[in-house]
Structure formats: C-alpha cells, structure tokens
Amino acid sequence: MVDKAWYESLPRKRMAAGCIFFNAENKVLLVKPTYKDGWEIPGGVVEDNESPKNACQREVLEEIGLKVSVKGLLIVDYNSYPQESHKTESLIFIFDGGVLSDKELSTINVDEEEISGYKFFSVDGLPEDMNHSLRNRIIQAVKQRDYKCSTYLENQQIV
C-alpha cells in the first residue's frame, strides 16, 4: 500500500485551461485582463482537485459571463523553463468553445475587476501585445480545430 508521504513527494505541475471561441466571421475572441498587459483567451489556473475542463468552464463564466459546456480538447502544451527561471513547468489545455451565436454574444458580461474588455481578432491579425507563447498556442489550436483533432505540444511546438 502506498502511503500519503509518497504522494506528497511527487512533483507538482502548474496547470491552466482556456477556451477559444469564434464569431461567425471565424475570428477568435480575446479578453483584455486588468491585472497584466496583453490579450488572453478566456481561462485561467486549474485549482486543486479541479479538472482542466471544469476550470475552463468556471473561468469562462467568471470572466465573460457565459455558461458553456466546452467542446473537445484542441491542444495540451507542456512548458518547461530554464533552471534559473522563477517559473515552474506547466501544462496548458486549450478547449474548443465553438462559434458563438448572436444570442450568446449578446449575453457576454465581463467581470470588470478582472477583464477590461473583449474583441474578436483574425488569426493572422492577433494583437502585437499578445504573449508570444499564447500566440503560438492559438495558431496551433485553430489548426487542430480545422483538422478536427487535438494534439500535444511541448513549448508550443508539435513533437
């Protein structure tokens, strides 16, 4: 029988989950956080004993007020960092939110403490002030959506 101490000795990884939503023009929904620079997809940190899918749905509800059941997984991205970095390794999950209907679009209600606004962008017109890693993840996720499959990445690259 494995004891509690053994489980506590295992490595821990940070996890985050986000969702890509589209409008009828096939543009991607991005949100503008109030607590950091740049644009993001709706989503955030996976909490203890929470699945990535549930975290994604919770964060979408908290950030933009949409109660959705996300569709399939598009990508999982394992991220490592140099030893001297303050960041720890992580797993990022991106789910497909599908195309938002006019009714869903009309019910978007941003949490103004966390999100200052939202906007749709074409994949080749993603904002310049977006994190480079997230930009690469979005591009890969949109490709996987077009292929109707999911894929595994390491540091935003297919392996």
| DSSP H helical ranges for the chain | 4-9, 52-64, 102-106, 132-147
Q: What is the pLDDT of residues 78-101, one digit of tens each?
A: 999 887 778 889 999 999 999 999
* Phi/psi-derived region of residue 43, left when phi > 0, alpha when psi is between -120 and 50, beta in every other case: left
Residue type, 146: D
Contacts of 39 (CB under 8 A, 6+ apart): 30, 31, 32, 119, 121, 126, 127, 129, 130
Q: Domain extents for the chain?
A: 12-158
Cβ proximity of 48 and 126 under 8 Å: no
Give per-residue pLDDT as tens, 17-61.
999 999 999 999 999 999 999 999 999 999 999 999 999 999 999
CATH of domain 12-158: 3.90.79.10
pTM over 0.85: yes
